[in-house]
Amino acid sequence: LEEVYQQYCQYGERLAPLIRETEFLVKQALERKESVLLEGAQGTLLDIDFGTYPYVTSSSPIAAGAYIGLGLSPSKLECVLGVFKSYTTRVGSGPMPTELQDETGELIRERAHEYGATTGRPRRCGWFDGVAASFSSRINGFSGVALTRLDILDTFPSIKICTGYKVDGDIIDQFPSRVAILEKCEPVYEELAGWQSPIGHVRRFEDLPHQAQSYVKRLEELVACPVDLISVGPKREETIIVRPVL
């Protein structure tokens, strides 16, 4: 035990010069009119208060949680950029109405390499869930969205978007607050034509195939905020800047 303690004391000495009062550093930066970028982790449905409990994490990964964690006043907020994949994934257990347990889901997983970086565990894949995305947008107060991995959908002749849930014979468009209800929900889909052509080279929104443009615009309607960034490949430069956000 003493050996381990001494070892970690050495780590502490090495890290000590890098440890600061983050709240105070950010306060000073804002007073100098500098820009401060906060990056969250995980996702809205893993939030301990608003997520699909008990399939959640132990913290609050929504936008408000970033301010609490940093000790920053919400009044300093200027914009919140949400990040959505062009399809839906989930890791581990928990309800996922749009999950595709067929060849389509497997194709998305393989094309996108949807496997855990550390464990190699396959992620559950499905069509874009507009109900969950709308809920996430509302909870976080998104001012814009970064839509990633649009190129993964290049090969599909048609693409589905979940616009509602069917539960107990009724159609709802609001995300249920109880997991017991969500587990019974079946997706209600809207089907759009696919573009069936590679888009990795595209750098302007207007140069996307019109079917891809229609897909993005429909997602904008569902989440009720503009798509500002679109990634069309894994490289940094494979990005369409629709509207500058930084």
Taking only the tens place, the pLDDT of each residue in 191-219 is 999 999 999 999 999 999 999 999 999 99
Q: What is the pLDDT of residue 74?
A: 82
Is 5 strand, coil or helix? helix
Q: What is the pLDDT of residue 118?
A: 83
- Residue 246, pLDDT above cutoff 90: no
Q: What is the pTM of this model?
A: 0.90
- Residue 42, pLDDT above cutoff 80: yes
pLDDT tier for residue 78 given thresholds of 50, 70 and 90? confident
Q: What average pLDDT does range 177-199 have in this prediction? A: 97
Q: How far apart are CA 91 and CA 97, in angstroms?
A: 14
Please state the domain extents for the chain: 2-241
pLDDT tier for residue 76 given thresholds of 50, 70 and 90? confident
Look-up: residue for tokens 């959640």? 56
**Burial track 56-74 (b if 16+ CB lie within 10 A, e otherwise):** beeebbbbbbbbeeeebee
Q: How far apart are CA 84 and CA 78, in angstroms?
A: 20
In sequence order, the 6+-apart residues with CB closer than 8 A to the CB of 31 are none
| H/E run at residue 210 | helix 210-223
Mean pLDDT over each residue of the chain, to the nearest integer: 95
Is 128 strand, coil or helix? strand
Q: How far apart are CA 42 and CA 62, in angstroms?
A: 9
pLDDT tier for residue 28 given thresholds of 50, 70 and 90? very high
CA atoms within 13 A on the CB side of 197: 11
Contact 97, 186 (CB under 8 A): yes
Q: Which CATH superfamily is domain 2-241 in?
A: Adenylosuccinate Synthetase, subunit A, domain 3 (3.90.170.10)
Q: What average pLDDT does range 222-244 have in this prediction? A: 97
Is 158 strand, coil or helix? strand
Helix and strand counts by DSSP (H, E) for the chain: 7, 10
